[in-house]
Chains A and B, each alone.
Chain A
Amino acid sequence: QVQLVESGGGVVQPGGSLRLSCVASGFTFSRSDMYWVRQAPGKGLEWAASITFDETDKYYVDSVKGRFIISRDNSKNTLYLQMNSLRVDDTATYYCAKKGAAWGNWFDPWGQGTRVTVSS
């Protein structure tokens, strides 16, 4: 079955960096657009970044532009999120998700998430 497993979260000081990974299995990763969605503690969902299957296009929510970089390695079935200049308000659980269908940009499935805490 389709599975997404995130890792790389942790505690980091403001201004620091982290790289999140998401290993995919059970589908043809190299043909699927992928997403990162985050959820601050006790808050709702916020789309953070997207990448097309071939890395041609990358998109970011305004609040992370210039600080986060989404990338992928199709040979390793892995999605990444490089997070730089981290701020306290980046504290959240970060989920990776797969594009639900070729014709529709819903998110399905989601990984279990990895928690990022930015604190001094």
Chain B
Amino acid sequence: DIVMTQSPATLSVSPGERATFSCRASHDIGRNVAWYRQKPGQAPSLLIYDASTRATGIPARFSGSASGTEFTLTIISLQSEDFALYYCQQYFTWPPFTFGGGTKVEI
């Protein structure tokens, strides 16, 4: 199975600042990575697919990048709704689809 390792587990930032966190795959998965945001008490929602393509309606302050087996999500100018949990997911080799353990972005 592909293991997705997210870091850090928790990231403390202030509103208006930039947040950057990563996800490392245990094997080459090309660019087959999606990122999701999960606000407290809500279901996850798609932010990014194919490592760097923003989903419909996602603002430009969200960007994804890839370098080898490392994938990065960057949020510039954090808004209040961005303080949430973020998960990466690989869909290169399945089953199983696998997720990272999550990064919590907090104030």
Listed in ascending order, the chain A residues whose CB lies under 8 Å from chain B are: 35, 37, 44-47, 50, 59-62, 95, 100-101, 104-113
A48, closest chain B residue (CB): B96
Given contacts A47-B99, A106-B89, A111 and B43 within 8 Å (CB-CB) = yes
- Complex Cα spacing A113 to B45, Å: 12
- Cβ distance A8 to chain B, nearest Cβ, rounded Å: 16
B87: A residues at CB distance < 8 A: 44-45
A45/B95 contact (C-beta < 8 A), A109-B46, A112-B43 known: no
User: Which residues of chain B (14-54) have a CB below 8 Å from chain A?
Assistant: 32, 34, 36, 42-46, 49-50
Min C-beta distance of B1 to chain A, whole Å: 9
Asked if B46 contacts A108 (CB within 8 A), the reply is: yes
CB of B98 within 8 A of chain A?
yes
Interface of A is mostly: strand
A105–B94 touching, CB < 8 Å: yes
Within 8 A of A (CB), among B52-107: 55, 87, 89, 91, 94-102
Specify which chain B residues have a CB less than 8 angstroms from the CB of A107 in the assembled complex.
34, 36, 44, 46, 89
A45 CB to closest chain B CB, in angstroms?
4
Check B97–A44 contact: CB distance below 8 A. no
The answer to whether A110 and B97 have CB atoms under 8 Å apart is no
18 A–B contacts from the bound complex (CB under 8 Å): A37-B44, A44-B100, A45-B89, A45-B102, A47-B98, A47-B99, A50-B94, A50-B95, A59-B94, A100-B46, A100-B49, A100-B55, A104-B34, A105-B97, A107-B36, A107-B44, A110-B43, A111-B43
* B97 and A47 contacting across the interface, CB-CB below 8 Å: yes
Q: Which residue in B44, B94, B96 is a CB contact (below 8 Å) of A110?
A: B44
